[in-house]
Structure 1
Amino acid sequence: MNKFYIASSFKNIDSVQYVSEILVNKGYVQTYDWTKNERASSLDALTEIGQKELTGVKAADLLIVLQPAGKGSHIELGIALGQGKTIILYTPEKKIEDLKTTCTFYHLPEIKKCVGDLAELIELVTKTVAVTES
């Protein structure tokens, strides 16, 4: 159980790449790295990227949602919830606890929350999901 997918927004590319690199160096396997894509310029490109992202989420043991996240991340969250995946929701601030802006799904018992810095997220991942030999 060592395959992960990180859902987030283009605003967080640096953080997504940072976390991905550390996890890969620790022996985890990233199922799809959407940060290598450029913004889609056509519906065909969106379809192709969407298929790769769907496949990546389905292949992952762990979904990490890095806040702030966009609409695609919430769809990925729904896919992971529906498949019973391990999910970690990361936010640098406690905005997910604000009743005016939070999402109901963030507070399901299946979701582990991490508020703080990226080092705390990486520590939670390594405590939650063991690296296994393929």
Structure 2
Amino acid sequence: MKFYIASSFNNIDNVRFVSRQLIKEGHVLTYDWTRNQKASTIEDLKLIGQAEKAAVIEADFMIVLLPAGKGSHIEMGIALGHSKRIFLYSPNEEVNNYATTSTFYHLSEVMKCFGTIDELVNTVLTMTETKEHLA
């Protein structure tokens, strides 16, 4: 199965760890944005945006590692618009804080995951054993 991970540059180590674990189990990463340098021009932003949009659309499912920036949330919107399963990860339950949460975190396509990164990986692997769990 193909996947995409959205997050901020602050989470780059966790993004790479999750990617490696899923790839080791046979999943395919549609785009590795962690290899990019920070964009320095509008043209760079445009090219990166096109690549990331295509990667989200190509993926069977998406993982969002919080905290994440505006780009990650736009990618999440693209995934929702294409009816993708989204695994929304937070090491705590901040997404359930009514004062700060987003309405989109609570849609049926979004599976909220809490705990350790290892627990996230195990959840994703369990839920993606068959594509039925992604519907």
Q: In the alignment, what sits opposite 2:102?
A: 103
* In structure 1, C-alpha distance between the alignment counterparts of 2:2 and 2:127, rounded to whole Å: 12
Q: Could you give the per-residue CA deviations for residues 29-54 of structure 1, whole angstroms, max 9, x where no partner exists? A: 00000000010000000000000000
Q: In the alignment, what sits opposite 2:37?
A: 38
* In structure 1, C-alpha distance between the alignment counterparts of 2:36 and 2:130, rounded to whole Å: 27
Q: Which runs of 5+ in 1 are unaligned?
A: none
The one-letter code of the counterpart of 1:115 is F
- Structure 1 residue 131: Cα displacement: 7.1
**Contact 1:28 / 1:131 at 8 angstroms: preserved in 2?**
no
- Structure 1 residue 63: Cα displacement: 0.5
The one-letter code of the counterpart of 2:111 is K
The one-letter code of the counterpart of 2:91 is P
- Structure 1 residue 19: Cα displacement: 0.4
Within the alignment, does 1:127 sit opposite 2:126 as a pair? Answer: yes
* In structure 1, C-alpha distance between the alignment counterparts of 2:117 and 2:107, rounded to whole Å: 22
The one-letter code of the counterpart of 2:14 is S
Q: Could you give the per-residue CA deviations for residues 99-127 of structure 1, whole angstroms, max 9, x where no partner exists? A: 11111100112111101101111111111
* In structure 1, C-alpha distance between the alignment counterparts of 2:126 and 2:82, rounded to whole Å: 21
Q: In the alignment, what sits opposite 2:62?
A: 63
* In structure 2, C-alpha distance between the alignment counterparts of 1:31 and 1:21, rounded to whole Å: 13
Q: In the alignment, what sits opposite 2:76?
A: 77
Aligned residues with identical type, % of pairs: 53
Question: Residues 38 and 131 of structure 1: is their aligned pair in 2 closer, same or farther, counting only changes over 3 Å?
Answer: farther
Q: Which runs of 5+ in 2 are unaligned?
A: none
TM-score (norm 2): 0.94
Q: In the alignment, what sits opposite 1:51?
A: 50
Q: In the alignment, what sits opposite 2:24?
A: 25
* In structure 2, C-alpha distance between the alignment counterparts of 1:85 and 1:110, rounded to whole Å: 7
User: Whose RCO is larger (CA < 8 A, sep 6+)?
Assistant: 1
- Structure 1 residue 129: Cα displacement: 1.0
The one-letter code of the counterpart of 1:18 is F
Within the alignment, does 1:94 sit opposite 2:93 as a pair? Answer: yes
TM-score (norm 1): 0.95
